[in-house]
Amino acid sequence: MRIPALLAVLLVAGCSQSTAAPSPSPEGAVRLSGGGQFATKGTAAVVYDSKLAPEGAQASATVESSPGRTVSSLVVEGLLAKRAYGAHLHVNPCGAKPDDAGAHFQHQAGHADAANEVWLDVKTDEAGMGRATATQAWGFPVGTVPGSIVIHAQPTKADGTAGPRVACVTLSR
Cα 32-93-155 angle, rounded to 5 deg: 85
* Nearest one of 55, 36, 33 to 45, comparing CA atoms: 36
- Domain-wise residue ranges, the chain: 5-10+26-170
Kindly give the residue spans of alpha helices, DSSP state H, lying in 110-167.
none
pTM of the model: 0.84
Q: What is the mean pLDDT of each run of 10 residues along the chain (173 residues)?
A: 47 39 53 96 93 96 96 98 97 97 93 92 97 96 93 94 97 96
Q: What pLDDT score was predicted for residue 4?
A: 56
User: What is the CATH superfamily name and number for domain 5-10+26-170?
Assistant: Superoxide dismutase, copper/zinc binding domain (2.60.40.200)
Could you report how far apart the first and last alpha carbons of the chain are, in Å? 30
